[in-house]
């Protein structure tokens, strides 16, 4: 049982654990507090988004949709391991769940089966949505699993909780399957190991590849920058690769980049698949 961390303290806890954190819009004041209390808090709940692409997922979790207003969580964990903050306060992520599960979380003991939906979870849990289609086929990159571990441990460390304060949505609300693709027991084991050591400390500032110019992107170009670009396009849900991405500029790269340009709102010649500075800067290709 604890008072929720302030926005500043939550941000510091995540960064001190070694996470790269992105602050999205007005996340510090974005909440559903007018619908009820947030707190006392008792644990961390992990979800999957059933979406692809970092920006699309972040926007959805910030805005919500017609039947469920945002924020839909507190942070979105992308496939590259970055954590995007979208809310602070009550969020529409947990819904009604089992009061026996909540008591087990409070007592930090093994969870019973969830067979009731009689208790407000939005009040009691921090929520992290993890970008994944949830079909059992979409991969969980090592960087993303590490970020889930770190984010969970960061909140637990800040509150003095142990690993049993971390649960999956599927362990809280009957009928839910998220997160699908790894077990919560394995994740709790990772959190337990991490909490036994010291936090990693803030990561170095992220650096990105400067725009190399449109002429760089031509048939015959071989560069690790192209591979890095392709990986970012895949992470944004714009990959059009049968195999790859790879270091050789190809029509698949062009098609993938054109999908990214269209996603940003470019049309016509502005979505021809050849990177321009505006779209390149927004893609944030990491230095290679």
- Domain CATH for 170: 3.40.80.10
- Confirm whether 135 is domain-assigned: yes
Q: Please check whether residues 261 and 178 belong to one and the same domain.
A: no
Over range 58-83, report the average pLDDT: 96
User: What SS3 class is residue 267?
Assistant: coil
Q: Please check whether residues 242 and 171 belong to one and the same domain.
A: no
pLDDT band at 1 (very low <50, low <70, confident <90, very high): low
- Confirm whether 181 is domain-assigned: yes
Percent of all residues in the chain with a pLDDT value above 70, rounded to a whole number: 100
In whole angstroms, give the CA distance from residue 263 to residue 275: 13
- Confirm whether 203 is domain-assigned: no
Q: Which one-letter DSSP state was computed for residue 261? A: H
Q: Please check whether residues 165 and 222 belong to one and the same domain.
A: no
Q: Please check whether residues 73 and 17 belong to one and the same domain.
A: yes
Average pLDDT, the chain: 96
Over range 211-228, report the average pLDDT: 97
At residue 242, the pLDDT reads 92
Structural domain boundaries enclosing 146: 7-195
Of 127, 160, 195, at which residue does a domain stop? 195
Q: Please check whether residues 131 and 231 belong to one and the same domain.
A: no
Measured in degrees and rounded to the nearest 5, phi and psi for residue 170 equal -70, -20
Number of structural domains found in the chain: 2
- Confirm whether 208 is domain-assigned: no
Residue 63 has pLDDT above 80, yes or no: yes
Over range 110-132, report the average pLDDT: 98
At residue 138, the pLDDT reads 96
In whole angstroms, give the CA distance from residue 126 to residue 284: 28
The percent helix, strand, coil of the chain (3-state, each to 5) is: 40, 15, 50
Over range 186-214, report the average pLDDT: 95
**pTM of the shown model:** 0.80
Contact in structure between 83 and 18 (CB atoms under 8 Å): no
pLDDT band at 237 (very low <50, low <70, confident <90, very high): confident
- Confirm whether 220 is domain-assigned: yes
Q: Please check whether residues 191 and 222 belong to one and the same domain.
A: no
Tokens for 183? 């077990």
- Confirm whether 1 is domain-assigned: no
Closest CA to 90 of 18, 4, 15, 160: 4
């Amino acid at each position: 049982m604890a008072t929720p961390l302030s926005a500043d303290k939550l941000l510091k806890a995540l960064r001190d654990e070694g996470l790269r954190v992105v602050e999205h819009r007005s996340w510090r004041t974005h909440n559903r507090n007018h619908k009820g209390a947030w707190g006392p808090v008792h644990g961390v709940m992990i979800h999957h988004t059933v979406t692809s692409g970092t920006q699309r997922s972040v926007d959805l979790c910030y805005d919500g949709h017609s039947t469920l207003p945002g924020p839909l969580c507190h942070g979105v964990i992308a496939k590259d391991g970055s954590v995007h903050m979208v809310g602070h306060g009550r969020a529409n992520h947990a819904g009604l769940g089992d009061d026996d599960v909540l008591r087990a979380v409070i007592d930090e003991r093994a969870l019973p089966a969830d067979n009731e939906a009689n208790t407000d979870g939005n009040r009691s849990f921090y929520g992290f949505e993890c970008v994944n289609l949830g079909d059992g086929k979409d991969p969980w990159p090592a960087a993303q699993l590490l970020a889930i571990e770190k984010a969970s441990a960061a909140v637990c460390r800040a509150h003095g909780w142990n690993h049993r304060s971390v649960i999956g949505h599927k362990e809280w609300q009957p009928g839910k399957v998220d997160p699908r693709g790894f077990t919560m027991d394995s994740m709790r084991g990772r959190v337990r190991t991490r909490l036994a050591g010291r936090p990693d400390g803030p990561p170095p500032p992220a650096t990105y590849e400067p725009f190399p110019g449109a002429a760089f992107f031509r048939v015959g170009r071989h560069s690790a920058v192209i591979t890095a670009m392709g990986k970012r396009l895949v992470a944004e849900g714009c990959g059009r690769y049968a195999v790859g991405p790879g270091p050789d500029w190809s029509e698949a790269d062009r098609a993938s980049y054109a999908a990214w340009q269209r996603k940003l709102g470019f049309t016509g010649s502005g979505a021809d698949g050849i990177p321009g500075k505006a779209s390149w800067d927004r893609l944030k290709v990491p230095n290679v």
